[in-house]
């Protein structure tokens, strides 16, 4: 079945970004109002409001669908899985409530993985990778560029190289169903990635 992606906006308005990570399961609920009769609100599994499904040309990310597009595809509620985060926007995939995104991800034996981090957390990720035998792809980037860039860190398992991905590559990651992990989740899963990705 073809996958459907949506853009979740207004995360900062609800201080939601810090609670989300790739793989977060969210609930979408129809909440029409005086400003938008196709409004869809986004809630955590515990019922906290996290934002809205984007519904205008200025907020719907390329490759994703608007609230209006999916509004008639479900009764009152539907679940989705966050695939990646950037600033105050999340890209999520409509999915069955029983889906297990991490299991599916690990089974695909992906060679490249992406990590969103900034500041000290970014330095911690790079140090962690270096301790495990990974090195910066110095033909393309310097360590300083990787530490100071706003873009996610790329990790290639087969070559043990660390690199940067651009905004264009990030859009490609969404289109090919890759995930961009938070630093915490990536380091939690690192040993599993080592075991499930051939080198």
- Give the H/E segment covering residue 57: none
Domain ranges of the chain: 5-94, 101-196
Percent of the chain with pLDDT over 70: 80
* Gap between the terminal Cα atoms of the chain: 31
Residue 182 confidence (pLDDT):
84
Query: Helix, strand, coil proportions of the chain in percent (round to 5)?
Result: 30, 30, 40
CA distance 172 to 125: 23
**What does CATH list as the number for 5-94?**
3.30.70.2330
Please write the tens of the pLDDT for every residue from 39-67.
Answer: 999 999 889 999 999 999 999 998 999 99
Whole-prediction pTM:
0.50
Q: What is the mean pLDDT of residues 94-107?
A: 53
The answer to whether 177 and 83 have CB atoms below 8 angstroms apart is yes
Question: How far apart (Å, rounded) are the C-alpha atoms in residues 86 and 97?
Answer: 24
Q: Per-residue pLDDT averaged across 109-127, rounded? A: 85
């Amino acid at each position: 079945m073809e996958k459907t992606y949506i853009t979740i906006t207004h995360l900062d308005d609800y201080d939601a970004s810090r609670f989300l990570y790739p793989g977060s399961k969210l609930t979408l609920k129809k909440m029409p109002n005086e400003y938008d009769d196709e409004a869809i609100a986004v809630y955590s599994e515990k019922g906290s409001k996290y934002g809205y499904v984007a519904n205008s040309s200025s907020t719907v990310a390329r490759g994703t669908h608007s609230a209006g597009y999916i509004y008639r595809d479900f009764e009152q509620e539907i679940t989705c899985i966050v695939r990646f985060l950037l600033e105050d926007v999340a890209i999520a995939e409509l999915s069955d409530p029983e889906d297990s995104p991490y299991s599916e991800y690990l089974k695909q034996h992906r060679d490249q993985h992406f990590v969103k981090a900034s500041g000290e957390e970014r330095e911690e990720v790079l140090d962690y990778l270096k301790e495990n035998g990974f090195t910066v792809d110095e033909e393309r980037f310097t360590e300083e560029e990787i530490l100071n860039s706003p873009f996610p860190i790329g990790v290639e398992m087969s070559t043990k190289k660390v690199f940067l991905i651009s905004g264009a590559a990030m859009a490609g990651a969404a289109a090919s169903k890759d995930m961009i992990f938070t630093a915490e989740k990536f380091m939690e899963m690192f040993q599993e990635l080592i075991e499930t990705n051939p080198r």
